[in-house]
Amino acid sequence: MNMRKKYTFKILTLLALSVLLFTGCNKRLKPASVIVVNPVLHLYPIPQGELQKILFEIENTSDNPLFIQEIQTTCGCIVPRNELPIVILPHKLGTIHLAYNTIKNTGYVDHFVYCYGNFEGSDCLELEFDTNVVPRADYIRDYEQLFTEKPDGFDKVPSMFDEERYKY
């Protein structure tokens, strides 16, 4: 009889846990209203090849928590540094940290960052930054430097005009 009580107790416990689990799944995230302190950043010029840290500050102005589940960028050179999901509590300020690698860009660049979460009115928040990537000083050489410069391995290439071969 003692074994039977243990068995029924286990079944009742499993039923109670399953009821709790399935009723907890019906909760939906309520939308959160946000204010982005500066949604479009105009950054100072940066030398090519350097890493630039970018911060976007987002203020949650609602009574509901904000969950940012995904961050997409328009370039593979931009990497989000936050662990996802980003949670910003009601009436608090949070930041999105990005790292921008300028090694493959030169000149004026304009990039967009798309954040997906429970935003009020839309599932997506669009952020933008632009900067001017300046090439290194050694990138541009004048004519005299180019003329006197020898490519790597130039000395190992045999001469096209062999003096001994064309003696008269």
pLDDT tens-digit readout, 44-69: 999 888 889 999 999 999 999 999 99
pTM of the model: 0.66
pLDDT recorded at residue 135: 82
Using DSSP bridges, classify how beta strands 40-42 and 124-134 pair: parallel, antiparallel or unpaired.
Answer: parallel
Dist CA 61 CA 127 (whole Å): 18
Please report, for the chain, the start and end positions of each structural domain, with discontinuous segments joined by +.
34-135
pLDDT recorded at residue 160: 46
CATH architecture observed for domain 34-135: Sandwich (2.60)
| Span 57-109, pLDDT tens digits | 999 999 999 999 999 999 888 999 988 899 999 999 999 999 998 888 888 99
Dist CA 36 CA 83 (whole Å): 19
| Span 131-156, pLDDT tens digits | 999 987 765 655 565 556 655 544 54
